Structure 1
Amino acid sequence: PCKKEIKNIREQLPEWKKEADFNFMTVSIDESRTEGLVKSYVKSQGWEFPTFIDPNSDLKRSLNFQNVPFTIIIDKNGKIAFMHSGYEEGGEQEVFEKVIELSKQ
């Protein structure tokens, strides 16, 4: 599900960026032994946005989520404005609508 969601978001990012000023990044919670695989996958997909690796799942623990993908939108004040767990086809539009809403504040 993570790869599918990121693929769909990546395809829409150029258009979204025309409508709102925001940053997009990904965080992998895969184990440290798979770090090389994550990096090569990111490179093979041509992702031009930052991808961070959290091999100890510190982020997962601190935000107390169980399912991935887990989407977070952080507002301009550094506060979490939106969180969503899981993925369903087309769900990325809800995320973008929230980004637009926050960018107007």
Structure 2
Amino acid sequence: DFWASWCGPCRKSLPFIEGVRADLKDQGFEVLAVNLDEETAPAYDFLQQHPLSFPILHDPSGDTPDSFGLRGMPTSYLIDRDGNIHSVHEGFRTADAEKIRAEITALVSKK
């Protein structure tokens, strides 16, 4: 998941992703988040208000999102157990949350 502290939809998507991870981590679902703030302080402030249990990486240079062809934030890449990108979710709307959760649950269920 690519995010930034100034991204309004990210402030909704990250707590959602945290909840999905909490529910599915025992089934092998893991999250890596890449913060794209140029300075780390705003990201740390956000994480103080919204603690997350998954790893947060920091890429102020933007090299990682460039390699993924990122067009906006938040953007989440759902990657299967074999390392293949299964789907890409650009932006976040609360109305899509259950559909995204169902997609992740179905993918995690595949062994």
TM-score range, shorter chain: 0.7 to 0.9
- Go from structure 1 to structure 2 and tell me whether the alpha carbon gap of 1:103 and 1:12 turns closer, same or farther (over 3 Å shift): closer
Is residue 21 from structure 1 mapped to residue 46 from structure 2 by the alignment?
no
Aligned to 2:4: none
Q: Is the 8 A contact 1:9 1:92 kept in 2?
A: no
Listed one character per residue, the Cα deviations across residues 55-92 of structure 1 (whole Å, up to 9, x for unaligned) are 11112211112110001111111111110111111323
Uncovered stretches (5+) of structure 1, i.e. residues with no partner: none
* Aligned length, in residue pairs: 102
Letter in 2 for 1:93: E
Q: TM-score, normalised by structure 2?
A: 0.76
User: 2:28 is aligned with what amino acid?
Assistant: D
Deviation at residue 12 of structure 1 after TM alignment:
4.5
Partner of 1:88: 93
42-51 vs 62-71, greater mean Cα deviation: 42-51
User: Structure 1 residues 57, 42: CA separation in 2 closer, same or farther (over 3 Å shift)?
Assistant: same
Q: Could you tell me which of 93, 97, 102 is aligned with 1:97?
A: 102
Identity fraction in percent: 23
State the superposition RMSD in angstroms: 1.9
